[in-house]
Structure 1
């Protein structure tokens, strides 16, 4: 009996790519007779005809293509957790629909898990050709910063594209937080991981929905999700600023007593006030981000809401919303 691999594929405004992706998976299936590839599209509130295209594919391939469609755009993290919660395969793979994750690698992933007893086979890009230089620079900077302040280390260039055993999927789903950062979660749960490397591939069609601002905000979420170092840094900055103010104040007093006040003091006073005010606002902002995360966790809102779906018969009995109270929102 064939083992089943469920491909979890989040989609947002990807009407041009879902058909190309499905055909690519069918081509790979011809080379993978030992496993059956099943596609679970997650339509994350697309504004174009993505859902229509997915429904057409589902009618064309009723035993291979399934979908969940959200009531609005909840973000990629919500799409990932929804896919993992509804995936029923023996193995689960996360992929992007734009074919920047080469489907041909699925064959090596499967054989590596089966023959070498790995729990996860993940991927990473060896270069960032085709990306804007500014984005590449900040991406590398982010990985270095994260790995220097966080106990959870991230592989530079690692993609969400990975194949996992059912045990790993269950471990990921056992984490109850609403503020999810999947790259960090995948590293945190551990298990035996093998990495496959490949050259960067440009999108097959369409444009990315990730702007530089969205990526920057996502990076900030990642930094504060698995490290309290920003809070520690803010505390040290405050301490050193206070000590500097004390030393500078003593210097001004000594200078005035010895040489008199030869010049008005308002420039130095203005600099100190502005500098201290800026540091206070920075520290408050850091603390505020952590408080906001606590606030979001206490609301227990679902991570997503399903408007409609077409799932394999075995999963029809599942409720539309996740079973755990805290796990169904980015």
Structure 2
């Protein structure tokens, strides 16, 4: 029977894990019924949690060792590392990636399975159609991110696309085979290609606990995504430098003309200081953009592993 792997990254999700497991089990058991067309396995990834997340994984593994497995990191390495670890462990013909907080509705799983089984699609992805319940600022920043990255990058990301998806084995192998350290899953899913269809759903609140993503973390993550899949920030720095140089030439020309016509070459020093500060700020901005790209090169050349496994079952 075909095997379906479910990869679930977790960080401090002790309240969500039992609810998630029970809900998914009910849906899968109802879907499979007496036909038993598929086998299932879970891969929970403990991303350095400080609560009882690992204990819940161990409990579920002890209760169902054939289907429930887990990997526990030595510390917190981030969701991208947890996602990669889960995909490396998954051996299913189909592999699903899901959030444990049930913001990714497991009720879509049967439809996703049937779509892959009856069509030539390689991926069934999901797209959230609204952001009800989210803070206004967070929603607007998210919309701005999708607009910007789709304007400046060759890799297009569907607005509202989630990591929640079901993939054939060859797609998972392609994703795992990418050696880069600076990973941005939404960009990677789009970059590898393969025929993808989308299912839409409305926003679901977390079933338990609180989000671990702050506005600052989301902005840093968005900037990483933009820089991973676009060289436009570097080009913008060059254009800013060129425009500043042209503006400085016109400014010098105006100073000379004014001195010749009015003989007042010393007046206007406040505006001169302002221009110097503006140019200095532009230089620092360009250096910051360049430094960000250099830091990514530095991280890639270290060849450090993205995560360290402390325990695995």
TM-score, normalization: structure 1? 0.92
Cα distance in 2, alignment partners of residues 59 and 45 from structure 1: 20
Are 2:294 and 1:298 aligned?
A: no
Are 2:69 and 1:66 aligned?
A: yes
| Contact kept? 1:140, 1:156, Cα under 8 Å | yes
Are 2:6 and 1:4 aligned?
A: no
Paired residues, number: 309
1:300-324 Cα distance to aligned partner (Å, 9 max, x none) = 00000000010xxxxxxxxxxxxxx
Using the TM superposition, name which of 28-37 and 225-234 deviates more. Answer: 28-37
User: Counterpart in 2 of 1:39?
Assistant: 42
Q: How does 1:159-238 map to 2 (within 5 A)?
A: 159-238=162-241
| Contact kept? 2:6, 2:43, Cα under 8 Å | yes
Are 2:112 and 1:109 aligned?
A: yes
Output the aligned Cα RMSD. Answer: 1.0
User: Counterpart in 2 of 1:317?
Assistant: none
1:48-87 Cα distance to aligned partner (Å, 9 max, x none) = 1100111111112222211000000000000011011111
| Contact kept? 1:29, 1:36, Cα under 8 Å | no
TM-aligned CA deviation for residue 260 of structure 1: 2.6
| Contact kept? 1:12, 1:43, Cα under 8 Å | yes
Cα distance in 2, alignment partners of residues 235 and 199 from structure 1: 42
TM-aligned CA deviation for residue 178 of structure 1: 0.8
Secondary structure of the 1:118 match is coil
| Contact kept? 1:25, 1:37, Cα under 8 Å | no
TM-aligned CA deviation for residue 148 of structure 1: 0.5
Cα distance in 1, alignment partners of residues 121 and 31 from structure 2: 19
TM-score, normalization: structure 2? 0.97
TM-aligned CA deviation for residue 175 of structure 1: 1.1
User: Counterpart in 2 of 1:28?
Assistant: 27
TM-aligned CA deviation for residue 262 of structure 1: 7.7
1:80-128 Cα distance to aligned partner (Å, 9 max, x none) = 1101111111111110000000011010000001111210000010000
Cα distance in 2, alignment partners of residues 261 and 203 from structure 1: 68
User: Counterpart in 1 of 2:151?
Assistant: 148
